[in-house]
Structure 1
Amino acid sequence: MAARPPRSARLSRDSIVNAALTFLDREGWDSLTINALANQLGTKGPSLYNHVHSLDDLRRTVRMRVVGDIIDMLNTVGQGRTPDDAVMVMASAYRSYAHHHPGRYSAFTRMPLGGDDPEFTAATHAAAAPVISVLSSYGLDEEAAFFAALEFWSAMHGFVLLEMTGVMAGIDTDAVFTDMVMRLATGMRSR
């Protein structure tokens, strides 16, 4: 029987980031610390510093991964659809992501879109690109489509937060969500 490799041999930047993503969904953004994550991984905090520079480095990397996942998701679900259908499917995928990955979703919304991290700012703008593309198909020019995407995201984010905090308990949130998204799409057509 082969000897089991030491625990630290299993660690890599990628495995640490993946563990952090899982940790976030279970424990939340504010609970993510180097020591808490190391404990989950069965090691000591200093071992993680061989792969991540700091907690800020880890959190930034996690945010970038989440933005990449959201870009991939939105690009995939919206392809080849009519504008109204694409808007509905993208909105539903966004909502589903937030519910299935609440910690990751929280990480996504923790940094300003136009902050002092140019790479993160570019990534968040790339995340908006699939939505802007669909909204442009309503006849909006690039600038109008960008602002419409911000309005669309604001509505989605507000709805998701109200839903996740239990404010809408007892309400048919699926029906309200569908109506809201369709009203947004109707507004795009009337611009």
Structure 2
Amino acid sequence: MPTPTRITPESLHAAAAEILERDGRDGLTMQAVATALGVRAPSLYKHVRDREHLVRTVADGVARELGDRVDAAVAATTDAPSAARAIAAAARRFAHERPNGYALVFGPLPESERADRAALDRASAAVMEVARRLAGEEHALDAARTLTAWMHGFTAMELAGAFRLGGDLDRAWEFGMEHLLVGLSGGSAVPGR
């Protein structure tokens, strides 16, 4: 008799994340993950309660991965404007590489499927710190929300193919980023460019 496959949190997440990117959130089912892992669906219930918990588990992992990428991008910078650019660029790259995973972090989901608060807080820690450095303590949350909303709006429109007037999207991204940074830093000149 063959030895049953041992399911680990890592193997479960890897299989689920691959299915999510290939088949979308609707295709992320207990049966699909079980098949990918070479087990029967009831075996997964030792690791996740139900499909909602499966989606939430994947969302947690995606939020942590995005946070790791943002942290790595910020670590290579020396000033707040460069860090803000690096954060936005890392999130944009992630969205293009993992659009369905990105949607688990930024898209509308039932509360039961959203990444947990700790994963989201961890993913946004660098954004908050950079916003604090750009706009000051009093305006840090507002600045973080503005930066995130601009980055997400641009990226979501880009992924949806909504920019149909032509032109260079990378140039538009840079233009928006530069003007946003001037605004967030109180209208002062923005170093790093």
Return the TM-score normalized by structure 2: 0.84
Q: Select which of 53, 59, 73 maps to 2:55.
A: 59
1:146-161 pair list within 5 angstroms: 146-161=141-156
Of 129, 142, 167, 1:133 maps to: 129
Structure 2: how far apart are the matches of 1:174 and 1:134?
A: 22
From 160, 172, 187, the counterpart of 1:176 = 172
User: Number of matched residues?
Assistant: 184
Separation in 1, partners of 2:142, 2:185 = 15
Alpha-carbon spacing, 1:162–1:110, altered in 2? closer, same or farther (3 Å): closer
Q: CA deviation at 1:163?
A: 0.6
Corresponding letter in the other structure for 1:184: L
- Quick check: 1:25–1:102 contact (8 Å CA) kept in 2? yes
Residue identity in the other structure for 2:130:
V
**Post-superposition shift, 1:15?**
0.8
Pair 1:19-2:19 in alignment: no
Distance in 2 between the 1:67 and 1:49 partners?
23
Q: Does 1:102 align with 2:99?
A: yes
The 5 A counterparts of 1:37-52 are 37-52=33-48
- Specify the code of the residue in structure 1 equivalent to 2:174: T
- How many angstroms apart in 1 are the aligned matches of 2:108 and 2:156? 16
Q: Give the Cα–Cα distance (whole angstroms) in 2 for the partners of residues 128 and 89 of structure 1.
A: 14
Q: Does 1:87 align with 2:84?
A: yes
In structure 2, stretches of 5+ residues that fail to align are: 188-193
TM-score, L = length of structure 1:
0.85
1:173 CA drift (Å)? 1.0
Q: CA RMSD in A?
A: 2.4
Q: Is residue 59–residue 115 contact of structure 2 (8 Å, CA) maintained in 1? A: no
Counterpart of 2:45, as a letter, is: Y
Cα distance, 1:111 vs structure 2: 6.0
CA contact (8 A) 1:77 1:89 kept: yes
Opposite residue 19 of structure 1, the aligned amino acid is A
Q: Relative to structure 1, is the Cα distance of residues 78 and 172 closer, same or farther in structure 2, using a 3 angstrom cutoff?
A: same
* Structure 1 letter corresponding to 2:67: I
CA contact 2:59–2:114 (8 Å) conserved in 1: no
Structure 1, unpaired ranges of 5+: none
Three-state SS of the structure 1 residue aligned to 2:59 is helix
Measured against aligned partners, the alpha-carbon deviations of 1:102-157 in whole angstroms (never above 9, x if no partner) come to 11101112467xx689981233223222011112222411x411111111111111
Q: Which stretch shows the higher mean deviation, 45-54 or 150-159?
A: 45-54
CA contact (8 A) 1:29 1:106 kept: no
Offset at residue 41 of structure 1 (A): 3.0
Seq. identity, %: 30
